[in-house]
Amino acid sequence: MNIHLTKSQIGLDGVPAAETVLSHVDGERGELIIAGEHVGRLASQSSFEGVTARLWNGASKSGLSEANVRASLGVARERAFARLPDLLPATHGMGIVDGFRAAVAGLRAENGIEHEATIVGAFPVIAGALVRQAKGLPPVAPDPNASHAADTLRMLRGAAPEPREVAALDAYFVTVCDHGMNASTFTTRVVASTQADLFAAVTAGYCALTGPLHGGAPEPVLEMLDAIGSSERIRPWVDAALARGERLMGFGHRVYRVRDPRADVLKAAIERLSAEGADLPFAGEVEAYIRSALRRKNPDRPLETNVEFFTAILLDALAIPRQAFTPVFAMARAAGWTAHAREQQRTGRLIRPSSSYVGAMPE
């Protein structure tokens, strides 16, 4: 009794909690494999619909093609749009991150569509409506024939995107669609392990994503870049923040001991998108100084750039409002969450760990 756990034990560091065919993170080598392929190759060769087909096929032993997924997501976006009058009232008075949670909690099965597609298809429709609602504008109807990335940008911005913008968002979606047993995926699997349905599991996953230690980091990354403002201010700003004991958003990772491979994939996507709207040289200077400052602060614990640093720059360059960054992350990760929920349900095994009681005992 009264056995205190270490910090690593409390965080379940390195504890395998599932067998999965969906993705693999090698934190020592800085590698991410999604559905049998390296993330860099997937981002340059596959569309979001293509990688989603791979994930869903892996989890459910189905034989979906990229075209099947594209068609079912198009139908699902249209159905979600028709349901907006039911979903949006629950978001009243909320910001975009919280409103998204409330609307997602209202999703339910749609006749004739797999739950996976209902969920992934609804996410950009809801996020687009919330972004427009915040500006006092009506939602933009989806185009079921467009790609998921193209339609997402159109619904968020109310104007047709350029092909290079669609390519950048598609590369982002592919890059972050799944990532081993991260906190939101674990949450999703815990809920799915009770045999609750996919809607409950994914709503819980989104809630876990919203925290700044997980998917809520990109908005603060931009706030940090804004607060630093200029090259001369990088050093004093970063040194002062670290002296106050603050964590710098977009750096450090529980698993990676080297640079997060997704950071480079996204950096390349930003370069292809062109420098317009993305102040890459300044962000690069900030990144370089923070990495060196973190090496000095924690010489024994490698703290490298993670995916969220370049996510912030990429989504900002696409003129997506920063308040919508976490829902946009969720749009991609929903492909992984739904696959993991199915994979977990198939095991039939309830996830139910134990705890170490350190409280008082009865006299």
The one catalytic residue among 110, 308, 340, 343? 308
Residue in 254, 257, 291, 322 binding ligand ACO, rule: CB under 6 A: 254
Q: Tell which residue, 330, 314, 342, 325, has the closest CA to residue 122.
A: 330
Q: Is 253 a catalytic residue?
A: yes
262-321 residues in contact with ligand ACO (CB under 6 A) are 294, 298, 301, 303, 306-308
Q: Is 308 a catalytic residue?
A: yes
Distance in Å, CB of 314 to ligand ACO, minimum: 14
> Is 284 within 8 Å of 248 (Cβ atoms)?
no
CA distance 277 to 52: 29
Residues whose CB falls within 8 Å of the CB of residue 294, separated by 6 or more in sequence, listed in order? 242, 248, 251, 252, 303
The one catalytic residue among 115, 148, 179, 253? 253
Q: Does 248 bind ligand ACO (CB under 6 A)?
A: yes
Distance in Å, CB of 336 to ligand ACO, minimum: 12
Residue in 87, 191, 249, 334 binding ligand ACO, rule: CB under 6 A: 249
Q: Does 261 bind ligand ACO (CB under 6 A)?
A: no
CA distance 348 to 203: 20
Residue in 107, 202, 217, 332 binding ligand ACO, rule: CB under 6 A: 217
> Is 208 within 8 Å of 187 (Cβ atoms)?
yes
79/189 with CB nearer ligand ACO: 189
152/306 with CB nearer ligand ACO: 306
Tokens found for residue 124: 């950009």
Distance in Å, CB of 171 to ligand ACO, minimum: 16
CA distance 253 to 307: 9
CA distance 48 to 31: 20
Single-letter code of the amino acid located at 37: E
81/325 with CB nearer ligand ACO: 325
Sort strands 23-26 and 37-38 into parallel, antiparallel or unpaired.
unpaired
Q: Does 100 bind ligand ACO (CB under 6 A)?
A: no
29, 32, 36, 39 alpha-carbon torsion, rounded to 10°: -120
Q: Tell which residue, 263, 320, 324, has the closest CA to residue 290.
A: 263
35/209 with CB nearer ligand ACO: 209
169/248 with CB nearer ligand ACO: 248
Return the percent helix, strand and coil in the chain, to nearest 5. Answer: 60, 5, 35
Site string for ligand ACO, 157-196 (x = CB under 6 A): -------------------------x--------------
Distance in Å, CB of 347 to ligand ACO, minimum: 25
Q: Tell which residue, 157, 159, 168, has the closest CA to residue 276.
A: 168
* Helix, strand or coil, per DSSP, at residue 23: strand
Residue with tokens 């309830």: 350
Q: Does 205 bind ligand ACO (CB under 6 A)?
A: no
Q: Does 234 bind ligand ACO (CB under 6 A)?
A: no
Q: How many residues bind ligand ACO (CB under 6 A)?
A: 21
51/307 with CB nearer ligand ACO: 307
Active site members = 253, 308
Binding residues for ligand ACO, rule: CB under 6 A, are: 182, 212-215, 217, 247-254, 294, 298, 301, 303, 306-308
